[in-house]
């Protein structure tokens, strides 16, 4: 059964994704809870309209994204992490932590989905994170992980 998700669901998909689910799961859980609608031709057309509107909004914000990218260009971000005596990090450094640090230091709101960590930090040190503001605008920021 194909459905269109109306909101982000962990381990299922993101908002506006067209996914294939088992009929019982879609019929008995996703649709009654308001998490999804059936992906028929009418709803597909509505989705295309919504996606084109969102794309137009994103294109309108292109200058704003360029300003954000210029603001963080060449900057570094310090994140305090818990680590052992050998410098190995306890837990994980996530894009949520990077987004919170960006908000705190530069006053920039970035969705966590737009932040990617090319390599998973395992020890205290310097790493990089890529922020994809828009399909045309991306910036790399240096992360300095320091022991707390």
State the pLDDT at residue 85: 86
Q: What is the DSSP letter of 61?
A: T
Distance separating alpha carbons of residues 42 and 85, to the nearest angstrom: 59
State the pLDDT at residue 87: 86
DSSP helix/strand/coil, 65: helix
Structural domains of the chain in order of their starting residue, each with its CATH number: 2-60 (3.40.5.10), 63-147 (3.10.430.100)
State the pLDDT at residue 44: 94
Residue 24 confidence (pLDDT) above 90: yes
Q: Which pLDDT tens digit goes with each residue over 34-83? A: 999 999 999 999 999 999 998 888 888 888 888 888 988 888 999 989 98
* Mean pLDDT computed over every residue of the chain: 91
Give the model's confidence band at 11: pLDDT under 50 very low, under 70 low, under 90 confident, else very high: confident
Residue 10 confidence (pLDDT) above 90: no
DSSP helix/strand/coil, 88: strand
Q: Which pLDDT tens digit goes with each residue over 116-135? A: 999 889 899 999 999 998 88
State the pLDDT at residue 30: 95
State the average pLDDT over residues 74-98.
89
Alpha-carbon distance values, 21 to 3, 6, 126, 138 (Å): 7, 14, 41, 34
């Amino acid at each position: 059964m194909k459905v269109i998700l109306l909101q982000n669901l962990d381990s299922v998909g993101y908002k506006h994704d067209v996914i294939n689910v088992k009929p019982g799961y879609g019929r008995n859980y996703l649709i009654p809870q308001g998490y999804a609608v059936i992906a028929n031709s009418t709803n597909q057309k509505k989705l295309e309209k919504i996606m084109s509107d969102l794309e137009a909004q994103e294109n309108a914000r292109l200058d704003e994204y360029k300003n954000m990218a210029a603001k963080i260009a060449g900057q570094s971000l310090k994140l305090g992490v818990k680590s052992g005596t050998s410098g190995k990090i306890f837990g994980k450094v996530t894009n949520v932590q990077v987004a919170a640090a960006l908000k705190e230091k530069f006053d920039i709101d970035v969705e966590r989905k737009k932040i990617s960590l090319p390599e998973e930090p395992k020890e205290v040190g310097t790493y990089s994170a890529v922020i994809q503001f828009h399909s045309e605008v991306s910036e790399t920021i240096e992360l300095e992980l320091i022991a707390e």
